Amino acid sequence: MQGDRRGAALEAVLMVVDQPVSSAELAATLELPEPEVEELLRGLAAEYDAAGRGFELRSVAGGWRFYSRPEFADIVSHYVLEGQTARLTQAALETLAVIAYRQPVPRSRVAAIRGVNVDSVVRTLVSRGLVEEAGTDPESGAILYQTTSYFLERLGIGSVAELPRLSPHLPGLDELAAMELER
């Protein structure tokens, strides 16, 4: 495949994906070496940036995908939602934060940290694809939960290591650390 055709083939595949696709998967699909595909992807991303297109090609959650540019978020949001909101409740956001920062974590630990029953909230997060089961705790047999690649994608980050650091001044942080030492 020639250079222009390789880039066009990459674009064609990326136009139909609904989640980030790894460069290894793209390389296998196009039957090209992965380093060559990586170079093509970076080149396409730079080309779109230089042209000021309404979309960009980003590497997120271990793969590549097209996204609308952040400066058009209000317009795209208005078009997609048309006045409908599908926002998470405060309880869901708090539960999601605990899972994101403590993963993999059993539901009982999330409930202990939040101080309330989180069963229905965790089910909601699982049904929305933001949280998934991550095996079982070897000691207690409890199901462990972790965030999904969809969660990373929605935040626009590549891994949970990119989450903002929690402030050392949060109330109760010392008690939380002490509880962890007791575990």
List, for residues 117-127, the tens digit of each pLDDT value. Answer: 898 899 989 98
Q: What is the pLDDT of residue 65?
A: 93
CB-facing half-sphere around the CA of 15: CA atoms within 13 A: 6
**Residue 31 in tokens:** 């039957």
Instruction: Give the pLDDT score at 55.
Output: 93
Whole-number average pLDDT of the chain: 85
The residue with greater pLDDT, 4 or 66, is 66
* DSSP assignment letter at 164: P
Residue pair 110/125 in contact (Cβ under 8 Å)? The answer is no
With cut-offs at 50, 70 and 90, classify the pLDDT of residue 21: very high
pLDDT band for 83, please (50, 70, 90 cuts).
very low
